[in-house]
């Protein structure tokens, strides 16, 4: 398949457990980047009162450690015409998780695959253009050797968007916003 990236083994957290946690300065830097993702190193250093080399070194360390996710996470599927979202739970034949996960990674509409404990083995986030397209994707998933059963749940509305700001605020020692403003 042209245009697809090779499957990469990832864990729930790509940040090594043995690595150090972010400190308050890292959190302040990430908050500043969240506020202005295109800010230059110089602008960030001025805003935070840090040396330019310090900001540059910290950003490089955050990227190398996996603390920063790829830019593509910010692209909304709706902007590409995928207006229908769904979460598919998948039950897999024992010892087939790796093969099934690799096959799922080859389906472009599969955005994320997470291993679960419990009845379902995998939680798969998919997007589709419409109901017919979702049917096609569901058929592809069911055709993967090792898939026993799927259950598809449509995403109707996003009530809380993916966010990190409250946790960064806490790590930075910033008080949470109040209801009054």
pLDDT digits (tens, 9 = 90+) for 74-96: 889 999 999 999 999 999 998 99
Tokens of 117: 């404990």
Residues 99, 46, single domain; the answer is: no
Q: How far apart are the C-alpha atoms of 110 and 126, rounded to whole Å? A: 4
The whole-number pLDDT of residue 181 equals 56
φ/ψ of 34, rounded to 5, equals -65, -40
Residues 68, 96, single domain; the answer is: no
Domain assignment present for 2: no
Residues 133, 117, single domain; the answer is: yes
Domain assignment present for 11: no
The pLDDT of 49-78, averaged and rounded, is 88
- pLDDT category, 180, cuts 50, 70, 90? low
Residues 118, 91, single domain; the answer is: yes
Domain assignment present for 54: yes
- pLDDT category, 4, cuts 50, 70, 90? very low
Residues 61, 87, single domain; the answer is: no
The pLDDT of 68-72, averaged and rounded, is 77
For CA atoms 73, 158, 89, 117, the dihedral sign is: positive
For residue 151, give its domain range: 80-155
CA 35 to chain centre: 19
Domain assignment present for 150: yes
Residues 91, 31, single domain; the answer is: no
Domain assignment present for 4: no
Residues 6 or more apart whose CB falls under 8 angstroms from that of 54 comprise 45
Q: How far apart are the C-alpha atoms of 147 and 141, rounded to whole Å? A: 7
Domain assignment present for 137: yes
CATH number at residue 65: 1.10.10.10
State yes or no: pLDDT of 122 exceeds 80.
Answer: yes
CATH number at residue 119: 3.30.70.920
φ/ψ of 22, rounded to 5, equals -65, 140
**Helix, coil or strand: residue 111:** strand
3: DSSP letter: T
The whole-number pLDDT of residue 2 equals 41
The pLDDT of 139-155, averaged and rounded, is 97
Residues 121, 68, single domain; the answer is: no
Crossing angle for the helix pair 24-35 and 52-65, to the nearest 10 degrees: 90
Residues 47, 112, single domain; the answer is: no
CB 122 within 8 A of CB 113: yes
pLDDT tens sequence across 9-37: 555 555 555 456 889 999 999 999 988 98
The whole-number pLDDT of residue 22 equals 86
Residues 118, 151, single domain; the answer is: yes
Number of structural domains, the chain?
Answer: 2
Residues 93, 54, single domain; the answer is: no
């Amino acid at each position: 398949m042209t245009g697809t990236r090779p499957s990469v083994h990832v864990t729930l957290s790509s940040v090594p457990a043995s690595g150090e946690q972010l400190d308050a300065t890292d959190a302040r830097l990430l908050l500043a980047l969240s506020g202005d993702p295109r800010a230059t190193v110089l602008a960030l250093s001025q805003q935070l009162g840090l040396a330019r080399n310090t900001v540059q070194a910290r950003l490089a360390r955050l990227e190398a450690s996996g603390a920063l996710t790829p830019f593509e996470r910010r692209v909304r599927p709706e902007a590409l015409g995928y207006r229908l979202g769904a979460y598919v739970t998948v039950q897999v034949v024992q010892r087939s998780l790796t093969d099934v996960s690799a096959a799922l990674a080859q389906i472009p509409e599969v955005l994320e695959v997470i291993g679960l404990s419990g009845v379902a083995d995998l939680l798969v986030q998919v997007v589709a253009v419409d109901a017919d397209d979702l049917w096609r994707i569901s058929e592809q998933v069911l055709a993967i050797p090792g898939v026993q059963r799927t259950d598809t749940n449509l995403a109707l509305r996003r009530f809380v968007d993916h966010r990190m700001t409250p946790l960064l605020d806490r790590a930075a020692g910033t008080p949470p916003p109040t209801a009054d403003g």
